[in-house]
């Protein structure tokens, strides 16, 4: 009998693969349940303290904003039914929706809005997103039970975009007073789904809010399961153990498209990817050196080969899906020009540079980083490339100038306002440098007085046509200054189960299930 065992083993493996391809022996779907396979553990389910897309996916099921986005990033009524701004642009009045309650039974009203916004403006206990609101909100007043006024010393052009940011979601004052810092593990909002549980390293479970003020969701329960391995997410999707899989690698799309249980959505998103520089460290403080590194990299080949064409080479420091985007130019692949600029900058052959990337999280991040390291070596640089686990990585690329050894580092940015202000200001405004005891997103220590002036002008300009002109000039300055190696924008590739309808896929790089439903079997 022993001589037949290899054959039997092979047959068993084949049978297993056939079952997997067909959805397993039982591919029926519980149409009351929707399961997301997400690629990283959520962070904090507290709107102004969440900073990544998978956490925001969950947060936006639980909470509502005064102003919300439609699928094209237009501003639409949420918990505010209407709004108006004074002629001088200094006072915004929001009329609130009546008859809404939080999941814990607390009434939604102007006091809840004031509590939420006042919390975010508390500089003694700042949230991670305080800088989204503190610079332009001077006072919030509850005019009556369903009217709120926001006062500013200067006009703020992107006001509605910031109100629609996930950080602006309105929280239950009762729940926050009860849970304090533990609110992030016990979130309470007014959204279409209620928080049920969070098992660390496993899943977050939500259930339908049957008292929801808007369109009642059709699916009763949503689960977000943490599945870091791409292959595991794919297998779960094929076997219908999960119904939506995020962060799909481009090289897996063709295989998934051929599977009868799987559909693919492939759309542009508002995020873009690049290698940041420490612009204060020589020779990165020399624009010739920074431009040389941009010319040294063949971005089109990265998109065509490593991203399988699911993206585009960046021509600005803002993605096209964001309001205010202007096409400027892409640095072409020109290694001879790179060598010429390096020589002009006095960079000797074999000059040592450090290049860092996370070991995961982003699409093809290691492959891309290794390719970029190769391109830089081709123009005469000695590249020390190192990867780090994401949690440690985000810490070491966020240290203040005096405490960091970073030089070049892979990172992405997808502004959740969908507006040029938040797409540019946190990244390149000199007031946003990380400081001891004060976080900041200008991890590149970039500083240009003209860029600062345009950023400030864009903030206080109410006329949207004038704002567009300001941001076009600003984007040109940034591209010419080359504070980063411009790379690409990656399409948002989402895989989901056949028979699942009306999944909301936002250009913000987010996916929502509150409008979804299953086809009749």
Token couple for 104:
């814990």
Express each pLDDT in 222-262 by its tens digit: 999 999 888 899 999 999 999 999 988 898 999 999 999 99
Whether 268 and 253 have beta carbons less than 8 Å apart is answered as no
Q: CA dihedral in degrees (322, 325, 328, 331; nearest 10)?
A: -10
* Residue 1 to residue 300: CA distance in whole angstroms: 57
Task: Please give the angle made by the CA atoms of 149, 154 and 156, to the nearest 5 degrees.
Answer: 75
Cis peptide before 501 (omega within 30 of 0): no
Residue intervals of the chain classified under CATH 3.40.190.10 are: 29-43+191-268+492-518
Whether 295 and 335 have beta carbons less than 8 Å apart is answered as yes
Residue intervals of the chain classified under CATH 3.10.105.10 are: 272-490
Architecture (CATH level 2) of domain 272-490: Roll (3.10)
What is the 8-class DSSP label of residue 425?
H
Q: How far is CA 446 from CA 304, 398, 429, in A?
A: 30, 14, 7
Block residue for tokens 């900073």 = 51
- Residue 179, phi-psi category: left (phi > 0), alpha (psi -120 to 50), beta (remainder): alpha
Alpha helices in 127-181 (DSSP H): 159-164, 173-179
How much is the pTM? 0.84
SS3 call for 400: coil
Architecture (CATH level 2) of domain 29-43+191-268+492-518: 3-Layer(aba) Sandwich (3.40)
Burial class (CB in 10 A: 0-12, 13-18, 19+), 321: buried
- For 411, the enclosing helix (H) or strand (E) is strand 408-413
Q: Tell me the pLDDT of the chain (521 aa) as tens digits.
A: 333 333 333 333 333 344 344 444 345 689 999 999 998 889 899 999 998 888 999 999 999 999 999 988 999 999 999 999 999 999 999 999 999 999 999 999 999 999 999 999 998 898 988 888 888 899 999 999 999 999 999 999 999 999 999 999 999 999 999 999 999 999 999 999 999 999 999 999 999 999 999 999 999 999 999 998 888 999 999 999 999 999 888 989 999 999 999 999 999 999 999 999 999 999 999 999 999 999 999 999 999 999 999 999 999 999 999 999 999 999 999 999 999 999 999 999 999 999 999 998 888 999 999 999 999 999 999 999 999 998 899 899 999 999 999 999 999 998 989 999 999 999 999 999 999 888 788 999 999 999 999 999 999 998 999 999 999 999 999 999 999 999 999 999 999 999 999 999 999 989 999 999 999 86
Residue intervals of the chain classified under CATH 3.90.76.10 are: 64-178
CATH code of the domain made up of 64-178: 3.90.76.10
Token couple for 192:
């279409």
Phi, psi torsion values for 245, nearest 5 degrees:
-120, 125
* Residue 261 to residue 395: CA distance in whole angstroms: 40
Residues whose CB is less than 8 angstroms from the CB of residue 410 and which lie 6 or more positions away in sequence, other chains included: 273, 274, 275, 356, 357, 358, 362, 365, 368, 369
Whether 170 and 79 have beta carbons less than 8 Å apart is answered as yes
Alpha-carbon dihedral sign for residues 436, 442, 446, 449: negative
* Residue 285 to residue 279: CA distance in whole angstroms: 5
Beta strand pairing call for 351-358 and 381-388: parallel
Strand ranges, E, within 145-293: 147-151, 193-199, 203-208, 221-226, 244-245, 262-267, 272-277
Whether 469 and 294 have beta carbons less than 8 Å apart is answered as no
């Amino acid at each position: 009998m022993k001589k037949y065992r290899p054959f039997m083993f092979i047959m068993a493996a084949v049978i297993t693969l056939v079952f997997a391809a067909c959805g397993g022996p039982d591919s029926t779907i519980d149409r009351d349940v929707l399961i997301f396979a997400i690629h990283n553990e959520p962070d904090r389910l507290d709107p102004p303290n969440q900073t990544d897309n998978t956490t925001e996916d969950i947060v936006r099921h639980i909470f509502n904003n005064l102003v919300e986005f439609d699928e094209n990033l237009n501003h639409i009524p949420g918990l505010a039914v209407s709004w108006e701004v004074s002629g001088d642009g200094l006072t915004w009045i929001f009329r609130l929706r009546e008859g809404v309650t939080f999941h814990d039974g607390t009434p939604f009203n102007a006091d809840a809005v004031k509590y939420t916004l006042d919390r975010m403006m508390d500089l003694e206990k700042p949230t991670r997103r305080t800088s989204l609101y503190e610079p332009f909100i001077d006072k919030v007043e509850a005019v009556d039970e369903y009217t709120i006024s926001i006062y500013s010393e200067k006009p703020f052009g992107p006001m509605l975009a910031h109100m629609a940011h996930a950080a602006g979601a309105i929280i239950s004052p009762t729940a926050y007073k009860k849970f304090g810092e533990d609110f992030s593990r016990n979130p309470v909002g007014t959204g279409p789904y209620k928080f049920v549980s969070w098992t660390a390293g496993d899943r977050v479970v939500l259930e339908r809010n049957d008292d929801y003020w808007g369109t009642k969701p059709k699916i009763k329960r949503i689960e977000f399961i943490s599945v870091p391995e791409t292959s595991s997410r794919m297998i779960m999707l094929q076997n219908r153990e999960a119904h939506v899989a995020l962060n799909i690698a481009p090289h897996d799309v063709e295989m998934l498209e051929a599977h009868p249980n799987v559909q693919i959505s492939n759309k542009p998103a508002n995020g873009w990817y690049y290698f940041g520089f420490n612009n204060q460290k020589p020779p990165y403080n020399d624009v010739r050196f920074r431009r040389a590194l941009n010319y040294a990299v063949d971005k089109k080949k990265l998109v065509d080969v490593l991203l399988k064409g699911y993206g585009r080479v960046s021509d600005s420091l803002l993605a096209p899906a964001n309001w205010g985007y202007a096409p400027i130019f892409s640095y072409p692949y020109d290694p001879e020009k790179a060598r010429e600029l390096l020589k002009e900058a006095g960079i000797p052959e074999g000059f040592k540079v450090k290049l860092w990337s996370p070991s995961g999280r982003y699409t093809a991040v290691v492959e891309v980083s290794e390719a970029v390291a190769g391109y830089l070596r081709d123009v005469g640089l000695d590249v020390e490339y190192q990867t780090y686990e994401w949690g440690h990585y985000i810490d070491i690329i966020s240290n203040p100038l005096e405490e960091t050894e970073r030089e070049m580092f892979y990172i992405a940015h997808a502004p959740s306002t969908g507006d040029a202000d938040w797409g540019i200001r946190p990244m390149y405004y000199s007031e946003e440098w990380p400081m001891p005891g004060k976080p900041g997103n200008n991890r590149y220590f970039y500083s240009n007085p003209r860029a600062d002036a345009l950023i400030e002008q864009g903030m206080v300009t109410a006329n949207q046509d004038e704002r567009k002109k300001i941001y076009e000039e600003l984007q040109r300055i940034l591209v010419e200054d080359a504070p980063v190696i411009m790379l690409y924008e990656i399409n948002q590739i989402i895989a989901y189960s056949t028979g699942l309808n009306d999944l909301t896929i936002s250009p913000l790089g987010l996916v929502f299930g509150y409008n979804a439903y299953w086809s009749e079997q």
